[in-house]
Chain A
Amino acid sequence: MRIGVLALQGDYMDHVEITRKALQTKKVSGGVVLVKDKDSLKSIDAIIIPGGESTVIGRLLERTGMLEELGSIIAGGLPALGTCAGAILMAKKVRDKVAGEVKQPIMGVMSIGVLRNAFGRQRESFEMELEVGGYGRIRAAFIRAPAIVELWGDARELSWFEHPEIGRVAALAVEGSMIASAFHPEITGETLLHEILIDMVKR
């Protein structure tokens, strides 16, 4: 099994490490490849879009001519995991809490709406325990994170919590073979989401 990690910008090396750990836990033989151009898209069984700055990753995807191609192969069924910036790039609707409407290149493949910088600035960034429906509790780091505020169609939430200022928000959503998380499992060392991704490839 070859799992690709988009490596244009962001914490892709943390994802490489955690994906290797997840492959070991699942006892699946396979490897992790860094994806920086169109050619490497052809030989992968799943793609991880890391945390980082969604505006930057989006623009670099556009400049390298990968934005549409990656979007269409994910829509065509390539299992995909997007964390934080990755979730923003996969969402069909994106807004920013301070700047409102934003014009940034996105793939727009998942039926979710995200609110960028929903929890505030870096000083309000936080760690907390989350209940993931059917899987148990994991430790999650929200770093200048977005919130998943809208889900429609086949998208469903796997984890949610009540925020004192913005109310009930989803932290984790799935739709078909796509997973979007508002938080960073790779920063707290949790392999659960990567294991779910591996299971999706096996199916």
Chain B
Amino acid sequence: MGWLSRTGYLEALSRFFYDLAELSDSMGLKRQPPCPIGSCGTVKVKVGLPSMLVGGVIMDVTSVEQAEIAEDAGAVGVMVLDKLPYDVRRSGGVARMADVKVIEEVMSSITIPVSAKCRIGHYMEAVILERAGVDLIDESEVLTPVDEAHHINKWVFKVPFVNGARELPEALRRISEGASMIRTKGEAGTGNVAEAVRHMKALNNDIRFLASRRGDEEFLRDYARNAKVSYELVKLVADLGRLPVVNFAAGGIATPADAALMMWLGSDGVFVGSGIFKSGDARARAEAIVLATSKWDDPEAVLEAQRMVVEKSAMTGIDVKTLKPEELLQVRGV
């Protein structure tokens, strides 16, 4: 990606919030996990983890058994959930973080990174997940938000966070709050990749537009003001011509072709939620999506991947247009 040598601005922001956190620690709030050697949780270490996941697939799982299938199939990581997004949508009620016991069991049975979701704005769920040893925390709109106005201040954590976004200003606000990775929101649990496509295109169009006007300070300042983020961050994106963190696709990916499409649109990797374990051919589908994501630019390989799955076994999916406005998950936490 090459932006990692240019994360100076993020590091300055991080230092500021980290110093604040250390101050509160010194006043008796012992929150920071121990660090046996070196400096833990630096910006490079936090932005570096998602960078290692590039070209890979992170799969939603609800049990140790599913996590083992995911690892065997070549997942680059798993996301432990209480219910798959499709079931969250069907069951209604309040969706919260997964059982800590299940997360711990998964962590001790597989060797790849383990992620888990916390509710938007739920600082304590995030503290619990960090303490438990989760490698990446997803502050996710799939769970029921607890704070309609604020997200978690992610700078004070030593583990990286991923946040969803539908467009560039939203992504920049999350990065300003300390997100080390961005994903499209898509519309989770629908098996319909249309919204993820929309979000990825909106984000990339804006980045290209910013890059084309990178010398126009007045324009960049206006953009920053409207997006409610700093000019320095907007300038950084304009200069890099991409986000200063890894950007994955998520929300509705159900087939190898969906995954390859998102890679072609410029994703760095994909999250697959209900798409795998709500299908009738989970093991083969997981392997096929891994292959299509890595070799998306080789039509022969994508064809081979698509041949590995059976369309009749794919999750049926929901047309996003049939969802009522209050059923949309993507409008949560903007």
Does B38 belong to the interface (CB within 8 Å)? yes
Selecting from B40-48, B118-126, B195-203, the interface stretch reads B40-48
Whole-angstrom distance between the Cβ of A25 and the nearest chain B Cβ:
14
In the complex with contacts A52-B76, A63-B291, A102-B111, A9-B42 CB distance below 8 A: no
Contact B54 A13 (CB under 8 A): yes
Residue among A7, A119, A124 with the highest chain B CB neighbour number at 10 A = A124
Selecting from B29-37, B91-99, B217-225, the interface stretch reads B29-37
In the complex with contacts A13-B54, A56-B75, A188-B44, A125-B111 CB distance below 8 A: no
| Residues of the B chain whose Cβ atoms lie less than 8 Å from the Cβ of A14 | 1-2, 4, 51
Does B160 belong to the interface (CB within 8 Å)? yes
| Residues of the B chain whose Cβ atoms lie less than 8 Å from the Cβ of A161 | 37
| Residues of the B chain whose Cβ atoms lie less than 8 Å from the Cβ of A99 | 108-111
Contact B39 A127 (CB under 8 A): yes
Contact B294 A13 (CB under 8 A): no
The contact of B38 among A37, A59, A121, A127, by CB within 8 Å, is A127
Contact B76 A125 (CB under 8 A): no
| Residues of the A chain whose Cβ atoms lie less than 8 Å from the Cβ of B74 | 55-56, 59-60
Contact A142 B38 (CB under 8 A): yes
Selecting from B128-136, B204-212, B251-259, the interface stretch reads B128-136
Q: How far is the CA of A188 from the CA of B112 in the complex (A)?
A: 23
Whole-angstrom distance between the Cβ of B79 and the nearest chain A Cβ:
14
Contact A164 B51 (CB under 8 A): no
| Residues of the A chain whose Cβ atoms lie less than 8 Å from the Cβ of B113 | 53, 122, 144
The contact of A11 among B40, B52, B108, B134, by CB within 8 Å, is B52
Does A176 belong to the interface (CB within 8 Å)? no
The contact of B52 among A10, A117, A123, A128, by CB within 8 Å, is A10
In the complex with contacts A10-B52, A122-B49, A187-B4, A141-B111 CB distance below 8 A: no
Contact B54 A96 (CB under 8 A): no
Nearest chain B residue, comparing its CB with the CB of A186: B4
Does A120 belong to the interface (CB within 8 Å)? yes
Q: How far is the CA of A127 from the CA of B40 in the complex (A)?
A: 7
Contact A52 B52 (CB under 8 A): yes
The contact of B44 among A17, A52, A123, A141, by CB within 8 Å, is A141
Does A116 belong to the interface (CB within 8 Å)? yes
Q: How far is the CA of A164 from the CA of B35 in the complex (A)?
A: 11
Contact B136 A120 (CB under 8 A): no
Does B53 belong to the interface (CB within 8 Å)? yes
Q: How far is the CA of A119 from the CA of B38 in the complex (A)?
A: 11
Q: How far is the CA of A164 from the CA of B41 in the complex (A)?
A: 18
- Residues of A in contact with B (beta carbons under 8 Å apart): 7-14, 16-17, 36-37, 51-53, 55-56, 59-60, 63-64, 84-85, 96, 98-99, 102, 116-117, 119-128, 141-144, 161, 163-165, 184, 186-189
Selected A-B contacts with CB under 8 Å, 24 pairs: A9-B76, A11-B54, A14-B51, A17-B2, A55-B111, A55-B112, A64-B301, A96-B111, A99-B110, A119-B36, A123-B33, A123-B40, A123-B41, A124-B33, A124-B35, A124-B36, A126-B40, A127-B44, A127-B45, A128-B39, A164-B37, A165-B36, A184-B48, A189-B4
Please list the 9 inter-chain residue pairs (A to B) with the smallest Cβ-Cβ separation, ordered nearest first: A126-B38, A128-B38, A17-B2, A122-B135, A189-B5, A9-B55, A11-B51, A59-B74, A187-B48
